[in-house]
Amino acid sequence: MAAAAIFSSLRRRRSPSLEAFLAPVDLSNVALVQTLGIVATELVSRFSEKSFFFQRRNSRSLIRKLEVCLVFLDCLKDIDATLPHTALLCLKELYLLLYRSKILLDYCSESSKLWLLLQNQTISGHFNDLNLELLTFLDVFPLEEVELGVDVREQVELLQKQLRRTRMFVDEHVETLRTRFLSFLDEFENGRLPNQRELREFFVDKLGIRNAKSCRTEIEFLEEQIVNHDGDVEPTVAVLNGFVAFTRYSRFFLFGFEEDDIDSGAANQKKLKKNLIMQEIADTFLTIPRDFCCPISLDLMKDPVIISTGQTYDRSSITRWLEEGHNTCPKSGQMLVHTRLAPNRALGNLIMQWCIAHGVPYDPPEGMDASVESYAMASPTRAALEANRATAMILIQQLSIGSQDAKTIAAREIRLLAKTGKENRAFIAEAGAIPHLQKLLTSPNPVAQENSVTAMLNLSIYDKNKSLIMSEVGCLGSITEVLRSGHSTEARENAAATLFSLSAVHDYKKRIAEEGGAVEALAGLLRDGTPRGKKDAVTALFNLSTHTENCVRMIDAGAVTALVEALGNEGVAEEAAGALALVVRQPIGAEAVGKDERAVAGLMAMMRCGTPRGKENAVAALLELCRSGGAATTEQVFKAPALAGLLQMLLFTGTKRARRKAASLARVFQRCEQVTMHYAYASNSTPNRDSSFPSEVSVPISISVPVV
């Protein structure tokens, strides 16, 4: 809100100069006075009949003062003599004062009632500032040098006297309401639910908020203030979240599930798609810093530990590796001197701070630094949590016994409630929302289906809810069915995102891949989906490819072919190359990729002009393809045109990981070259060789491999 941004700056800095708001025309003398007269006339005519629910007295007082200014300006237009330079400077300042007045009056007439209630004292201070600026203008303006009519001069002098006596006015009745509003939040803070009669008296009788629609408008405005919040503006974001939670609870507690919500369902759905989809998925599809990912699972590390070689892994992943009988470092291949695991507290603290900053759920392991733990606990206030908990109980009750329309509304509100905060996600699932949301996944109503699958996605972001979703009989199948044949594009895309979120748990990757039609549907979405749908699908397939037992299933379902095709799509090529790098670690995967002629060409193209991470993934995929695909596949890669130049470029300009992979691939080719040359020499030295057959020629690749 541009106006809100300027309004919030009124008490902190001066507004821009006059030229920032007026067209480049001659503003000297009469032209300036005429312009000011037009602005003042518009202000007076626009706001004279405007109804102000709050700040009524301050607004009316300001408008009356502007009316006197308008009379004063009309008189100046009739003066033939040139205005003195001092008067012109004062009139330019008057324009800025009129501009601020317009912003303030607009703000008071357009803002929500609850927001004006919270800002009552601050806004009263802004009105007082304008009074002081107007007094300064009249005191400085050279009235004695300008010929004014007697009646006009008297009005101006009377206004000066009134302004000198004016003090900041804060409406005591409004302050009482504001105090009452704050007291409701205190009740939630202390674990008590407000009385229904008192809530109805406050919202309906005192504020005139009489239905669910007007209450929803209030909530949306408060949420907008949270998004646009300035750091030095009161109340804080945490407190504002409490007021939003309290108002949402009051909406359903007082007005239930009114029909006007259903009537405007389509419009609301479009608004949700526009404003919330990216925010909902942001938690799931954040680009995680590579150093925060476990080299084994490629997932965000929750409990990083250091092994004897100095490499860091997530505790659960390296523990599983050791339990399987391995005695080497998964990354370097070195033999382990011992199997003790030392917590990497420094990295763990960095990961935790990153998660908190980006709203990613993170459960700190025991022993985490106290300072970081206290930072993580600076989460929503208890009032917000208790209000949201009470709201969730009402919504889940409607999911259970409400009408179809009420269930649709409840699913939408749970979707919104679960979009932020692990606490909200936790108690919504604990209260039993998942089984009811699962039933709505098969609803013939597209809105109900989309809201339920998106709510499931938002709930799944919290790790502990993943097990509840996966353990619910038929839930995974229902999500997969929405992915395959959902009523809307958004529903199918969010189903794919849900599978990605669930597959963050290693033990669930195989179950998801084995669910009938899941991998096929993801492959289809990767081929034919919208840009966002392709992103959802490729990230889900990437996660599934980290489980070695899913390789055959992905080949049979056409997912590997879809990943190869995706190498040509700039939006998903990076993730596709990363998934292929995992698939080709197995001989069967390398064979499948090697048979596709587009694979090597696509990876080469990414090495040439992809993103830094895309280049990493591409050269890693080629390296693994050579290691697992046998001599024929290695030769296929070896013969790719311009490969030597691309490797040389990566060795000197790539990221650290890209340089390391490029160096390894170069060494593979050097070994292959030596073997080929030895074979060719041995063949040429054979006495009985038929000279009619040309000897095999090997073209050497000259690559200097730096130490990385």
CATH code, domain carrying 342: 3.30.40.10
Residue 268 lies in a domain: no
How would you classify residue 298: left for phi > 0, otherwise alpha for psi between -120 and 50, otherwise beta?
A: left
How far is 614 from 6, CA to CA, in rounded Å?
A: 43
Q: Within this chain, do residues 147 and 230 fall inside the same structural domain, yes or no?
A: no
pLDDT in tens, 581-624: 999 888 999 899 988 889 888 998 888 888 888 888 898 999 88
Cis peptide before 235 (omega within 30 of 0): yes
How far is 429 from 465, CA to CA, in rounded Å?
A: 7
Q: Which of 170, 204, 224 is the last residue of a domain?
A: 170
Q: Within this chain, do residues 164 and 227 fall inside the same structural domain, yes or no?
A: no
Residue 112 lies in a domain: yes
Task: Give the pair of three-digit tokens for residue 632.
Answer: 């024929």
Q: Check if the beta carbon of residue 299 is closer than 8 Å to that of residue 293.
A: yes
pLDDT, residue 28, reads 53
How would you classify residue 235: left for phi > 0, otherwise alpha for psi between -120 and 50, otherwise beta?
A: beta
Q: Within this chain, do residues 209 and 147 fall inside the same structural domain, yes or no?
A: no
Q: Within this chain, do residues 84 and 160 fall inside the same structural domain, yes or no?
A: yes
DSSP string, 44-58: HHHHTT---SSSHHH
Q: Name the packing angle between helices 382-401 and 172-189 (round to 10°).
A: 70
Helices (H), 546-684: 551-556, 559-566, 573-583, 587-595, 597-609, 612-638, 643-653, 656-684
Q: Check if the beta carbon of residue 213 is closer than 8 Å to that of residue 264.
A: yes
Domain encompassing residue 330: 303-358
Q: Within this chain, do residues 82 and 41 fall inside the same structural domain, yes or no?
A: yes
How far is 449 from 414, CA to CA, in rounded Å?
A: 13
Q: Within this chain, do residues 164 and 28 fall inside the same structural domain, yes or no?
A: yes
Residue 216 lies in a domain: yes
Residue 150 lies in a domain: yes
Residue 293 lies in a domain: no
Residue 241 lies in a domain: yes
How would you classify residue 400: left for phi > 0, otherwise alpha for psi between -120 and 50, otherwise beta?
A: alpha
Q: Within this chain, do residues 22 and 153 fall inside the same structural domain, yes or no?
A: yes
pLDDT, residue 448, reads 93
Q: Within this chain, do residues 41 and 165 fall inside the same structural domain, yes or no?
A: yes
Amino acid at 207: L
Q: Within this chain, do residues 27 and 83 fall inside the same structural domain, yes or no?
A: yes
Which run of H or E residues covers position 514? helix 506-514
Long-range contacts of 230-233 (CB under 8 A, 24+ apart): 230/8, 233/8
Q: How many residues does the chain have?
A: 708
Contacts for 19 with CB less than 8 Å, ≥ 6 apart:
none
Q: Within this chain, do residues 32 and 64 fall inside the same structural domain, yes or no?
A: yes
Residue 38 lies in a domain: yes
Task: Give the pair of three-digit tokens for residue 334.
Answer: 């070195």
How far is 580 from 585, CA to CA, in rounded Å?
A: 9
pLDDT, residue 361, reads 56
| Total tally of structural domains belonging to the chain | 3
Q: Which of 124, 146, 170 is the last residue of a domain?
A: 170
Q: Which of 401, 436, 463 is the last residue of a domain?
A: 401
Q: Within this chain, do residues 40 and 182 fall inside the same structural domain, yes or no?
A: no
Amino acid at 531: P
Q: Within this chain, do residues 184 and 220 fall inside the same structural domain, yes or no?
A: yes
Per the DSSP assignment, residues forming a β-bridge with 328 are 335
Residue 346 lies in a domain: yes
DSSP string, 393-442: HHHHHHHHHS-HHHHHHHHHHHHHHTTS-HHHHHHHHHTTHHHHHHHHTT
pTM listed for this prediction = 0.71
Which parts of the chain sit beneath pLDDT 70? 1-30, 79-81, 229-233, 258-287, 356-380, 672-708
pLDDT, residue 700, reads 36
Contacts for 258 with CB less than 8 Å, ≥ 6 apart:
211, 212, 213
Q: Which of 299, 334, 335 is nearest to 316 (CA)?
A: 299
